[in-house]
A and B are shown apart, each in its own frame.
Chain A
């Protein structure tokens, strides 16, 4: 019983010692100043947190005790074949509800650009780009179970593919989109081949190294990529029509063609709409793939590689396909990022971006498509709404990753699969 007070107190005290030098003494040149409050607050938080856990545990065991006294809480003998009904009979029973659920976001998403101002439209584009990236990473990490810490490399390949393709080859948006996707997929295969033999941790480190190599090369190969100065990227065009006030020779600006006034928003609305279509197509593709044999083998490989290989699943093609598909979606995201920013430079492709996309996938639930989409939207919009909070954004992401893994390792929205539960007493 003495533990009830002692353990939380000890936690608080340890946290105090831990944080006192770093956040209690702030360096200022060769001197410093004291800031006593933050460590105290942190220690108090740790104390309350630990007390809370103990209290919850106590109530839990108390409730159990009551149940046992009343003779409840017994599991029946034998097997309980619990198949999740909703996921099996979705195609027949819940179709109308599902259709409404699908149609609503589609309509809202499609109508959205005509009501938003320019600022929120760019935020929406960013959110959609992150949805794409998260869907791509979700294939690699969530479905196939390979921790890819260099996903941003494929994003960079897509973005720079468009930018440099325009710079050196004169490619436009529409030719860059498939080419960027293919290029990124090619990089995915090139990276995928050597790492196939590796375990989770080594794979993570190699992909991280690969991502950093790409970024450092982009940063240092000044004569080709422009280095830290970046490359200018043109906006997308409708074939033959441009989103500028005055068109270049041989083409007509969109606003003249349609007979409406010029507005700088047209370009952004256009990007948004195209991106929205692409995101819908990707969601459709990924949902279908997940239920196809390929998707099933990804998940099977994630659960137990040795068993899968003994059963004759070709782990090379399965893993490579996951890598290539994920990379391809990342590349498409990169092309859109370049098109919407009008400018790319290496600072957009740091390890932090990879970690952020990973955080989205983890928070949404590894392997759960709706969860990942919601998480991507929430995580990109939230910092815009809470501007004052933006300093603490990354700290909170990190904390959330730790807490999620401990409490809900399958994410906030778990993906449901038929399960077989066995209750034997």
Chain B
């Protein structure tokens, strides 16, 4: 096996994995607190990809030319609007159903994901959209024998830096601030937290907002990296991010990132060395196998149902 190709695939996988990890945070936090899969989370990521392109165009319209300023502008507004989408989703589709049977919120989640997908398709058209590459240029690192080298573009570097920065900030919030303490308390026992004076409705809203914001970061970075997207991307990426969350142990923040990286790396190696056509099959098969054999994931605790 060529060391150069191996290194290049590893880098690609790392970047893929970082984005999966960012999106997986939304799944893992929501699951940790209210124990449901937010099926529409993938669509929120898709919406943020569209918003990136739209705010990029608006930035040009507003006469912002310098690249860092554009990036900040795009990131800020995309985050804002996407987070609002997350908040709205919870408010409309999940909050009215709190305390009903388990099937109902899942069905509204599927309904919501259909609504978001088709809302974007109807207003933006079905064909795939592109955005101009903002940051060109890349680092070339010599690796392997015979003058082989691997390439990391600036955007890819940015993805890795922002993903880990995002994780660090989030971990800090969850473990060092009072908000994080309230979140963790709600996660442990919702009723008890409510009895002790924590506004659990507010905490759940905040969790949705944080999850959507992380998906927005992923959306911005991925669309800057690939430059094209369509209204379908939310579905498959959402499932893969969910796989990452389950793999790492759903409910655990470092687990989401770990699961994302493992999934990204293995998917990248699979498509590089085995077969590109079946890489989605591989991801789905991995999901099914993990759920069957180790549903608590790598870093999660097994759940016990008491009678």
Contact = CB atoms under 8 A, between A and B. Distances in A.
B108 A402 contact: yes
Nearest to B115: A398
A212 B116 CA distance: 21
Contacts of A139: none
B50 interface: yes
Interface string A206-230: 1011101100110010000000000
Given A17-B81, A406-B96, A198 B106 contact: no
Interface in A373-397: 391-392, 394-395, 397
A18 B116 CA distance: 12
A195 to B, nearest CB: 8
B97 A399 contact: no
B119 A395 contact: yes
B50 A22 contact: yes
Question: For the complex, would chain B's binding face be called helix, strand, loop or mixed by DSSP majority?
Answer: helix
Interface stretch (A23-31, A56-64, A270-278): A23-31
Interface stretch (B144-152, B182-190, B264-272, B281-289): B281-289
A395 B114 contact: yes
A220 B275 CA distance: 11
B114 A398 contact: yes
B68 interface: no
Given A395-B122, A401-B108, A402-B108, A21 B287 contact: no
A153 to B, nearest CB: 12
A32 B52 CA distance: 13
Given A213-B285, A351-B235, A23 B114 contact: no
Q: How large is the interface on A (under 10, 10 to 19, 20 to 34, 35 or more residues)?
A: 35 or more
Interface in B150-175: none
A27 to B, nearest CB: 5
Contacts of B292: 194-195, 206
| Most chain B beta carbons < 10 A, residue from A14, A29, A216 | A216
B291 A202 contact: yes
B114 A355 contact: yes
B142 interface: no
A205 B132 contact: no
Q: How large is the interface on B (under 10, 10 to 19, 20 to 34, 35 or more residues)?
A: 35 or more
B37 interface: yes
A392 B121 CA distance: 10
Interface stretch (B6-14, B15-23, B84-92, B199-207): B84-92
Interface in A340-397: 351, 355, 358-359, 362, 366, 391-392, 394-395, 397
B4 interface: no
B103 interface: yes
A195 B295 CA distance: 11
Given A27-B54, A201-B37, A402-B92, A395 B291 contact: no
Contact of A22 (B51, B104, B111): B51
A149 interface: yes
B104 A409 contact: yes
A217 B281 contact: yes
B133 to A, nearest CB: 11
B71 interface: no
Contact of B123 (A26, A194, A202, A209): A26
A85 interface: no
Contact of B124 (A17, A27, A30, A394): A27
B2 interface: no
Contacts of A197: 295
Contacts of A75: none
A52 interface: no
A392 B57 contact: no
Contact of B103 (A200, A208, A395): A200
A26 B119 CA distance: 12
A391 B93 CA distance: 23
Given A31-B57, A201-B37, A202-B295, A21 B110 contact: no
Contacts of A362: 107
Contacts of A399: 111, 115
B234 to A, nearest CB: 12
B54 A32 contact: yes
Interface of A: 14, 17-18, 21-23, 25-27, 29-32, 35, 38, 141, 145, 147, 149, 194-195, 197-202, 204-206, 208-210, 212-213, 216-217, 220, 306, 310, 351, 355, 358-359, 362, 366, 391-392, 394-395, 397-402, 405-406, 409
5 contacts: A205-B239, A213-B284, A306-B307, A400-B111, A401-B114
Minimum-distance CB pairs A-B, first 10: A401-B111, A398-B114, A23-B123, A398-B115, A209-B284, A395-B118, A402-B111, A220-B277, A200-B102, A32-B57
Given A149-B110, A216-B280, A402-B93, 12 more contacts: A30-B132, A194-B288, A198-B291, A199-B102, A205-B246, A213-B285, A366-B103, A391-B122, A394-B118, A397-B114, A398-B115, A401-B108
